[in-house]
Amino acid sequence: MKIVVSLHCVADELADHPLLANRPKCLLAVSGVPILEHILGQMKALLTAGTELILVGEKHVATTAAWVRGKFPQLTVQAVNASAAVYPLIACRPLLTEPTLLVMSDSFVVAEFEALTALEADAAVLVSDRHAPGRFGGVAADGEGVVQRPSMAGLASVGAMWLREPEVSLAAVAQADNTNDFIAQLLQQKKTILAGTVTHWIDINSISDVKQANRRLLGTGYGTDEALERSYIEEFAVIPPVFLHHDAIVEASVIGPYASIGAGAVVRSSVVQNCVIEENAQVANCILEDSFIGRDSQISGPITHDQLTYAEQ
């Protein structure tokens, strides 16, 4: 099978942010792990040696491909450079010769991905019934979950789609502006599309979303249980839930709740809560709340709230 990961930033507040000058948003850390690792981790049953992962985007495609190859060596990885004006499935159409799953690199979804492979329908779109349709559009479905039409007043699309026979489904689609347009064209071909409701969805469209995703993931078990034990031995305080990388250094500080501290980061004489502190960042002598401290950056001082700090690349 094929898994297409779109790196395009759809209606994204971070699209041109200096924080992402030299890396994609999907490699920002959330609860100590890159966003894309969380996303792919939800479909680990599909990440077998026979799976081909296709990354499509116009920025940082090679960087992301190198990261995926290092993290998931069992996968065959292809990189496709394409304008954001081209719908991802159309951009890599020649490569889609097997059942295909499309996911967005900044849309964290918990769903039964493995069940998609058993569907008899032509396609499936994953939706949330707890959110209003947003940047990925929406659909109206009947009582059996069969999509009737695209609708911004219906179920919210989370950006993920399944095509059972992509060569057939894509043959008559020359271009699509967005997911709703693509679905409309499939329906015009009389394709049967099912709407599958996801268990959990976190849309990551801004730094505020990154911090909220960190909080939600830590609150649902993505922290490190050994952080509390470390605090007893190394004489700092932990208020769970937190993520604390084993290579991070914490001295005379209070971390948590909802704090993530990455590899090589150093926190000294500080209070840190509701924060993401990325790898090799340094925090000293401050009370830090609701902030994102990027990799290799430094911050010190008094009370700091809603801080975004990043190192010049």
Which pLDDT belongs to residue 64? Answer: 97
DSSP string, 127-194: EESSS--BTTBEEEE-TTSBEEEE-TTSEEEEEEEEESSHHHHHTT----SSHHHHHHHHHHTT--EE
Residue 117 has pLDDT above 90, yes or no: no
Q: pLDDT tens-digit profile of 35-62? A: 999 999 999 999 998 899 999 999 999 9
Q: pLDDT tens-digit profile of 212-229? A: 999 999 999 999 999 999
Which residues, 6 or more positions from 76, have their beta carbon under 8 angstroms from its beta carbon?
A: 51, 52, 53
Residue 140 has pLDDT above 90, yes or no: yes
Q: pLDDT tens-digit profile of 58-116? A: 999 999 999 999 999 999 999 999 998 899 999 999 999 999 999 999 999 999 999 98
18 or 177, greater pLDDT? 177
Q: Examine domains 2-203 and 223-309 and report if their fold is the same.
A: no
Q: What's the burial of 153, exposed, middle or buried (CB within 10 Å: 0-12/13-18/19+)?
A: exposed
CATH class of 2-203: alpha beta
Q: pLDDT tens-digit profile of 230-254? A: 999 998 999 999 999 999 999 999 9
DSSP β-bridge partners for residue 288: 272, 304
18: confidence class by pLDDT, cuts 50, 70, 90: confident
pTM value is 0.93
Q: pLDDT tens-digit profile of 159-189? A: 999 999 999 999 989 889 899 999 999 999 9
Q: Is CATH 1.10.10.10 what the domain over 223-309 is classified as, yes or no?
A: no
**Structural domain boundaries in the chain:** 2-203, 223-309
Which pLDDT belongs to residue 310? Answer: 77
195 or 310, greater pLDDT? 195
Residue 295 and residue 305: Cα distance in Å, rounded? 18
Residue 313 has pLDDT above 60, yes or no: no
